[in-house]
Amino acid sequence: MAVSTAKDGPCQAESIQNLPLPPPTYTIRDPEGRTIVLGIEGSANKVGVGVLQYSPSTQSYTILSNPRKTYVAPTGHGFLPKETAWHHQAHVVALVRAALNEAFPGEQSPELRISAVCFTKGPGMGAPLQSCAIAARCLALLWDVPLVGVNHCVGHIEMGRIACGTSNPVVLYVSGGNTQVIAYSDQRYRIFGETIDIAIGNCLDRFARTVGLSNDPSPGYNIEQEAKATDASFIDLPYTVKGMDVSFSGILTHVEQVAKTKLKAGEVTVADMCYSLQETLFAMLVEITERAMAHTGQNEVLIVGGVGCNLRLQDMMATMVSERGGSLCAMDHRYCIDNGAMIAQAGIFSLQYGEKTSLEDSWCTQRFRTDQVKTLWRAPRKWQHT
């Protein structure tokens, strides 16, 4: 069973088989000829700033720094847009300073090396998105460099492709706000299947609140730890796959009722519920991902998004992929969870292939589908049916 994980250090551009780089349409400000960009992510409860470089001499991409801060809501509560935006506003300037200082230690004016400022244009929560977009606009104007708006979902995918060195995988994108099975064709990331109601991360978060699990470091992580209990027993839960789509709201309603009755009566434990919920939800995701693999003829799967760092999900997916003679590309929390470097990664691709965002078009949107983005950096090839 082949499992590749995200690696540190330079990532070779040739591994992802993008189109040849055209002549730059932007100013390379680094004296050594590297293209260096700064990315700002703040679509949900995490605000992150990443500095990323492309070195033409080695034809590689390297993350120079990637600090972030997380807004942790009180136990039993979710994170609300207003409080989350306040959190991002309080931390984004310090994170920019920290990212630049880490990337260029000891330099007096490291911003002079930056060729562009990339930011999350959407999708996400309105107020947090706007807070980070305003920061990006200010920096671009102060430094006199172009802006590059990035689709959050595409940022996850491109981070995964370059970090794992995979060129054309089937992508399972699982996070607090998104659940999609994606395959590339003709310069678009095509959505083969998705949730028809709530995202898997939202389902897990709301379940965690129901049973009183902490939001620190995240509800999903604490569910994963509870599910590892050796005495956990499986409880039958609804299994809702509709063609290539999935539904989580009915399962959530069911486990909330179990918590109010059987858990309260001592008939089941929190570990039983965490284990059962994980196994059921992840089995649904594995099923629709396998169907996408069969349709497209691909033998690699890349898991991205915050839920993607769950080791049980990776293990279940790896088993399926191995049985099909393929390989799984998985990442840890550094790159699965929202971060500034993933925005910088998708942003530098857009910049290198001629895309910039004018100040007038630097608005944010809460709805921005993955397949709305034309990926100019990828060859317009189509999948082969099997």
Q: What residue numbers does the annotated binding site for a divalent metal cation cover?
A: 152, 156, 173, 338
DSSP percent split of the chain into helix, strand, coil, nearest 5: 45, 20, 35
Run of H or E residues at 59: none
- Taking the C-alpha atoms of residue 325 and residue 314, their distance in angstroms, rounded to an integer, is 16
DSSP assignment of 306-349, as one string?
A: GGGG-HHHHHHHHHHHHHTT-EEEE--HHHHS--HHHHHHHHHH
- Taking the C-alpha atoms of residue 219 and residue 222, their distance in angstroms, rounded to an integer, is 5
- Taking the C-alpha atoms of residue 212 and residue 209, their distance in angstroms, rounded to an integer, is 5
Q: How many CB atoms lie within 10 A of CB 344?
A: 38
- Taking the C-alpha atoms of residue 373 and residue 44, their distance in angstroms, rounded to an integer, is 20
- Taking the C-alpha atoms of residue 100 and residue 275, their distance in angstroms, rounded to an integer, is 42
Do 317 and 326 touch, CB atoms closer than 8 A?
no
* Strand pairing class (116-122; 170-174): unpaired
Give strand pairing partners of 11. Answer: 61
Closest CA to 117 of 158, 89, 145, 150: 145
* Strand pairing class (60-65; 68-70): unpaired
- Which distant-in-sequence residues (6+ apart) come within 8 Å of 55 by Cβ? 10, 34, 61, 62
Q: Which phi and psi angles does 237 have, rounded to 5°?
A: -125, 160
Q: Binding site for substrate: residue ranges?
A: 173-177, 205, 220, 224, 310
Do 50 and 96 touch, CB atoms closer than 8 A?
no
Q: Binding site: residue ranges?
A: 152, 156, 173-177, 205, 220, 224, 310, 338
Q: How many CB atoms lie within 10 A of CB 234?
A: 10
CA 100 to chain CA mean position, Å: 23
Closest CA to 246 of 295, 191, 294, 209: 191
- Burial of residue 139 (CB within 10 Å: 0-12, 13-18, 19+) is buried
- Taking the C-alpha atoms of residue 56 and residue 45, their distance in angstroms, rounded to an integer, is 35
